[in-house]
Chains A and B, each alone.
Chain A
Amino acid sequence: MSELLRTANLGKSFGRHLVFSNLNVKLSAGKVHGLLGLNGEGKTTLIRILLGVIPADTGSIYYKDALLSFRSAAYKEEVGYIPEDPFFFGGMRVGELLDFNAPFYRRWDGRRAEELLKRFSLDRRARIKTLSRGMKLRLEMAVALAARPALLVLDDPTSGLDVPTRHDFLQDIIRELADSGTTIFFSTHLVHELERIVDHLFILHRGRLILDEAYETVKNSIRRVRLAFPGDSPETLGVDGVLVETRDGPRREIVVYPWTDDKKKKIDGFSPTLFHVEPLTLEEIFRSFVAG
């Protein structure tokens, strides 16, 4: 899979507060990348750096193998951005926002913009400030897609939306875009949103990427193991990759990543009376990673 965007040792601080350091992110063309993290972990900061909105303190960004600087602008022709808050210029009308954006993009597709307005039931003459949050999100999407981006960056756009709208948005639009070859970089704290669409998973925690893996791989190799022992639970199971561990007398529960046959054999050696292995949902995976 060809690489669209890559960072090398990216670092950022706000005053004395280190947001992240040595961050290496790779976005593969045509994939949906999910960026997960608790609130305040630096997801928005990372996105703003990738978009050239704020500068990084250290590190480099490459787009299609070309080194970008903070002043680079040309690559943004191929990058669509849907921010967290609908911060549109309130006084504008829907059509005016499209017209305002059109001259920025050489690949702007006016016909597509009109189609998207129709598809999203947006009235060109409506004032933006009168739109609901869901409609504003659709408008943001229309603006971003009319520029035919190779990379679409979404910064937690679905927070505050009702469930059906979120579902429509994710299922109908994001998947459709990804299927048509657009690379998606999606940040959210509503983790379960990503479950059905994500291809690759990043988890940003305490200034580091603690997970950078294909979702399929993670899903297939992370397991929750429920154990019970005849007497007290052994002091240690001797298994590495334990993300979460809870004990309750003879009972024990662990989340292991990656789960392998070797680890299974090792635990078998303790002759547990209960040995139940089960997969995790994305939300559980996320919680397991950040719990440590």
Chain B
Amino acid sequence: MFNRMIVKEWKEKSGLFLFALAGLVLFALAFSGYSKDKNTLDILASTLLLIFLPVFSLLLGASGFSSEFQDGAWAYLFSRPVKKWRVWLAKYLSLLTILLVVILLFALLTKLHPALKPAPDMFNFPLMDEDISYGILAFVLPLLLFTTAFSLSILSEKTHAVAFLAALVWIVLQIAVTEASLSLFERGMFSSAFSLVSILGLLVPLSLALASVVTLNRADFSQPKRRTWIFTKSAAVFILASIGLVALLALGTRMFQRDRYVYNIEADDKAFYFSTEKGYFKFDLAEGRTEKLARHPSMWGYISMAGDKVVFTSYGYGGGWRGFAQLRIMNRDGKDERLLLGTENQESPLYGGYIHPVRMSPHGDRVAFFLRYGPKPTVQDLWVVNSDGSGLKGYDLGIPDADYYLIVGFGKSGQSLYVLCTQNIKPGDKDRRAGARLLRVDLDSGQVETLADQIRKPYFASMPAETETSWAGGIVYIQHDEAASKEILTMLDPETLEKQTVDIEESVSAFRWDKSGERLAFLTSNSRLGVYSMAEGRVVQIKEIAGYDLRWPSEALEWTSDDRIILRKLEGEVSSICFLDANLAEQKAIRLPFSSHYASRIWNAGKYAIIENTENHQLWGIDLETEQWLRIY
């Protein structure tokens, strides 16, 4: 039956299929015509993804039962010896094959068209960060729109009216889900907000599909009003049941609660500072005690320290502050905590923006931060404010299609700031990711200078701890070498622009400065651990390591203050923190006080090695002298 139904539907929907093919040809021609104009290619690809395919999906779905209505064939079809839900399913699957073929053709177009090559994924869609699966938009959205329209198609033979209704349902659904998820988001339930969007985004079309099957099974098709009533009633029941299911799930799994995390970490020789969803904390290394410095919760709270000050971000979860970011400052002991600036003022150029990330100048007199989602549609500007709250100044870095900024650090004088900037990829961009750029911003003149480009894994780029060494303030990053077609670890002296590179065969996946800023430990894609000496300008040790947990390489590696390297080992249920000597030989392994298969982050602060129980959002520290474990958080 399915085979025959597929043939029948393909014949009936040949007009729509030809419409899609015509679109395919037009888009191919347009891509060729604008092959040099990346912005237009960007718009065209977005139009294809966000308008053409959704509209096609809606029309295809909406035409589901139109032929049965138009010539009364529904009576003929229902008089066949087959369950009505199977008729529904056969039609649905038949039309789905058309949709999938069309999506596949467009995927091939975007993959193979020379103007768009090389495509980053199945679709060369530039709007999304590559971390987000293109499949969500390219496949799931058309599929859900198609399912919605198909489900509604049992209500009327008027294809365009059904398509319009389906679009309306989606708009209402999007508004409702967005409002609900924003509400959760503003309460710090970020994961829940995402889950809500995903679950309801799937459950509502599914509810409509079930309502459609129920209507088919129960309704009299010769009575449109009655049919519509049964559909509406069933859809309401299923949607309410879906919401109830989500609520039960939320209660059962405690899904809708504020996200828990241990975030931004800073350490000096006296204390280890960190932020969680509950506020900002300080672990006093001498006393072995954790105290809460500030209650202000934050969305991925940022801390930066210099001098005797700590600056941090906060995000209002309730009251008048709900949804607004703040920048706050306090002494290192948590005293004199006050607001530096907020984003709640409608007159402010920062209104409604999100502060991310933040860095204090070496002398503690200035604070730099980036603002995302500010009052202007694309504000991602750099801002600097004095640590007494005065002198707010914005910088336009003039990077076209800037996507994301990261602050690497201040220069030694505090007059210049080093930032990394990623850019949106566009169709036809030469590479999968153009790579991030390292910029130097002169805070007095506002002049912006590009120091390096083609930087990969920009989130890992770092400066060493601000210690007084020849390389203190040196910036390390992973740069893509096009000629060698590999990623190279590069160290840059930002003052002299002198570069050193780690010359090894494989790509580097992570690195970590030692406490003096003299040596750099790094992990390679072949699970090798190496140490590069800045003084000697060469790799002094490199060795394959086995049995260590390198799943989160940038966080899996740490130096102790006595120049040992710390790694985590995972052997079945037993987990240990391991110390490697100068020859990269394991010197000691100490069993962790918790059991978890989650990847863990490791830090060193004074005499403590600190490891995160990522699964339970705990921090454990081991006194390296006594080898006693202590729960820090």
Known: A88-B73, A89-B67, A92-B8. A53 touches B79 (CB 8 A): yes
Partner of A100, one of B8, B75, B79, B223: B8
Q: Is B481 an interface residue (CB 8 A)?
A: no
Closest residue of chain B to A75 (Cβ to Cβ) is B81
Partner of B79, one of A51, A70, A74, A91: A51
Chain B residues positioned under 8 Å from A74 (CB to CB): 81
Chain A residues positioned under 8 Å from B76 (CB to CB): 81, 83, 87-88
Cα distance, A87 to B218, chains bound together (Å): 23
Interchain nearest-CB distance for B82 vs A (Å):
6
Q: Could you tell me if B11 and A105 are in contact, using CB atoms closer than 8 angstroms?
A: no
Known: A81-B76, A87-B76, A92-B11. A55 touches B220 (CB 8 A): yes
A77-106 vs B, CB cutoff 8 Å, 1 = contact: the mask equals 101010101011111100010011111110
Interchain nearest-CB distance for A46 vs B (Å):
13
Interchain nearest-CB distance for B349 vs A (Å):
62
Q: Is B12 an interface residue (CB 8 A)?
A: yes
Chain A residues positioned under 8 Å from B222 (CB to CB): 14, 45, 48, 54
Partner of A14, one of B78, B218, B223: B223
* From A53, A102, A103, A104, residue with most partner B Cβ within 10 Å: A53
Closest residue of chain B to A90 (Cβ to Cβ) is B71
Q: Could you tell me if A87 and B72 are in contact, using CB atoms closer than 8 angstroms?
A: yes
Known: A99-B4, A104-B80, A104-B82. A55 touches B218 (CB 8 A): yes
Partner of B12, one of A52, A71, A83, A91: A91
B1-33 vs A, CB cutoff 8 Å, 1 = contact: the mask equals 101110110011000000000000000000000
Partner of A73, one of B4, B74, B82, B218: B82
Q: Could you tell me if A103 and B4 are in contact, using CB atoms closer than 8 angstroms?
A: yes
Q: Could you tell me if A89 and B12 are in contact, using CB atoms closer than 8 angstroms?
A: yes
Q: Is B47 an interface residue (CB 8 A)?
A: no
Partner of B78, one of A52, A75, A96, A103: A52
Interchain nearest-CB distance for A14 vs B (Å):
6
Chain B residues positioned under 8 Å from A48 (CB to CB): 75, 222
Q: Is A263 an interface residue (CB 8 A)?
A: no
Chain B residues positioned under 8 Å from A52 (CB to CB): 78-79
Chain A residues positioned under 8 Å from B412 (CB to CB): none
B549-588 vs A, CB cutoff 8 Å, 1 = contact: the mask equals 0000000000000000000000000000000000000000
Chain A residues positioned under 8 Å from B71 (CB to CB): 85, 87-90
Q: Could you tell me if B83 and A89 are in contact, using CB atoms closer than 8 angstroms?
A: no
Cα distance, A87 to B223, chains bound together (Å): 18
Chain A residues positioned under 8 Å from B225 (CB to CB): 15
Q: Could you tell me if A76 and B12 are in contact, using CB atoms closer than 8 angstroms?
A: no
Closest residue of chain A to B221 (Cβ to Cβ) is A54
Cα distance, A45 to B221, chains bound together (Å): 11
Chain A residues positioned under 8 Å from B12 (CB to CB): 89, 91
Cα distance, A76 to B86, chains bound together (Å): 15
Q: Could you tell me if B79 and A76 are in contact, using CB atoms closer than 8 angstroms?
A: yes
Q: Is B174 an interface residue (CB 8 A)?
A: no
Partner of B84, one of A71, A85, A87, A101: A71
Q: Could you tell me if A76 and B67 are in contact, using CB atoms closer than 8 angstroms?
A: no
Chain B residues positioned under 8 Å from A101 (CB to CB): 80
Chain A residues positioned under 8 Å from B79 (CB to CB): 51-53, 76, 79, 81
Cα distance, A52 to B222, chains bound together (Å): 13
Closest residue of chain B to A153 (Cβ to Cβ) is B79
Cα distance, A125 to B557, chains bound together (Å): 74
Q: Is B447 an interface residue (CB 8 A)?
A: no
Q: Could you tell me if B8 and A89 are in contact, using CB atoms closer than 8 angstroms?
A: yes
Q: Is B628 an interface residue (CB 8 A)?
A: no
Chain B residues positioned under 8 Å from A53 (CB to CB): 74-75, 78-79, 221
Cα distance, A99 to B72, chains bound together (Å): 20
Q: Is B97 an interface residue (CB 8 A)?
A: no
Closest residue of chain B to A86 (Cβ to Cβ) is B71
Cα distance, A52 to B221, chains bound together (Å): 11
Closest residue of chain A to B216 (Cβ to Cβ) is A71
Cα distance, A273 to B74, chains bound together (Å): 61
Q: Could you tell me if A96 and B7 are in contact, using CB atoms closer than 8 angstroms?
A: yes
Q: Could you tell me if A76 and B73 are in contact, using CB atoms closer than 8 angstroms?
A: no
Q: Could you tell me if B81 and A104 are in contact, using CB atoms closer than 8 angstroms?
A: yes
Q: Is B345 an interface residue (CB 8 A)?
A: no
Interchain nearest-CB distance for A251 vs B (Å):
47
Chain A residues positioned under 8 Å from B1 (CB to CB): 103-104
Interchain nearest-CB distance for A197 vs B (Å):
23
Chain B residues positioned under 8 Å from A91 (CB to CB): 11-12
A53-64 vs B, CB cutoff 8 Å, 1 = contact: the mask equals 111000000000
Q: Could you tell me if A87 and B83 are in contact, using CB atoms closer than 8 angstroms?
A: no
Cα distance, A40 to B71, chains bound together (Å): 20
Q: Is B525 an interface residue (CB 8 A)?
A: no
Interchain nearest-CB distance for B72 vs A (Å):
4
Chain B residues positioned under 8 Å from A79 (CB to CB): 79, 81
Q: Is B217 an interface residue (CB 8 A)?
A: yes
B57-87 vs A, CB cutoff 8 Å, 1 = contact: the mask equals 0000000000100011111101111111000
Chain B residues positioned under 8 Å from A55 (CB to CB): 218-220
Chain A residues positioned under 8 Å from B75 (CB to CB): 48, 51, 53, 83, 87
Cα distance, A55 to B84, chains bound together (Å): 13
Cα distance, A92 to B83, chains bound together (Å): 23
Interchain nearest-CB distance for A237 vs B (Å):
45
Cα distance, A79 to B11, chains bound together (Å): 28
Closest residue of chain B to A91 (Cβ to Cβ) is B11
A249-285 vs B, CB cutoff 8 Å, 1 = contact: the mask equals 0000000000000000000000000000000000000
Closest residue of chain A to B222 (Cβ to Cβ) is A54
Known: A52-B78, A53-B78, A89-B12. A100 touches B4 (CB 8 A): yes
Cα distance, A104 to B3, chains bound together (Å): 12
Interchain nearest-CB distance for A104 vs B (Å):
4
Cα distance, A80 to B78, chains bound together (Å): 12
B291-327 vs A, CB cutoff 8 Å, 1 = contact: the mask equals 0000000000000000000000000000000000000
Closest residue of chain A to B2 (Cβ to Cβ) is A103
Closest residue of chain A to B219 (Cβ to Cβ) is A55
Interchain nearest-CB distance for A127 vs B (Å):
11
Cα distance, A105 to B7, chains bound together (Å): 18
Chain A residues positioned under 8 Å from B4 (CB to CB): 99-100, 102-103
Interchain nearest-CB distance for B144 vs A (Å):
28
Interchain nearest-CB distance for A90 vs B (Å):
7
Q: Could you tell me if A70 and B218 are in contact, using CB atoms closer than 8 angstroms?
A: yes
Q: Could you tell me if A71 and B83 are in contact, using CB atoms closer than 8 angstroms?
A: yes
Interchain nearest-CB distance for B83 vs A (Å):
5
Closest residue of chain B to A96 (Cβ to Cβ) is B7
Chain B residues positioned under 8 Å from A71 (CB to CB): 83-84, 217
* From A48, A89, A90, residue with most partner B Cβ within 10 Å: A89
Chain A residues positioned under 8 Å from B73 (CB to CB): 87-89
Interchain nearest-CB distance for B89 vs A (Å):
13
Chain A residues positioned under 8 Å from B74 (CB to CB): 53
Chain B residues positioned under 8 Å from A100 (CB to CB): 4-5, 7-8
Cα distance, A51 to B74, chains bound together (Å): 12
Cα distance, A76 to B11, chains bound together (Å): 26
Closest residue of chain A to B84 (Cβ to Cβ) is A71
Chain B residues positioned under 8 Å from A104 (CB to CB): 1, 80-82
A206-250 vs B, CB cutoff 8 Å, 1 = contact: the mask equals 000000000000000000000000000000000000000000000
Between-chain CB contacts (< 8 Å), 20 pairs: A15-B225, A45-B222, A51-B78, A52-B79, A53-B74, A53-B75, A53-B79, A55-B218, A55-B219, A70-B217, A70-B218, A71-B83, A73-B81, A76-B80, A83-B75, A87-B72, A88-B76, A90-B71, A91-B12, A99-B4
- A residues contacting B by CB (< 8 A) are 14-15, 45, 48, 51-55, 70-71, 73-77, 79, 81, 83, 85, 87-92, 96, 99-105
What are the nearest 8 A-B pairs in CB distance? Answer: A76-B81, A54-B220, A77-B81, A103-B1, A87-B72, A87-B71, A51-B79, A104-B80
Contacts A15-B223, A101-B80 supplied; 19 other A-B pairs, CB < 8 Å: A15-B225, A52-B78, A53-B79, A54-B221, A54-B222, A55-B218, A55-B220, A70-B217, A71-B83, A75-B81, A83-B75, A83-B76, A87-B71, A87-B75, A87-B76, A88-B73, A89-B67, A103-B3, A103-B4
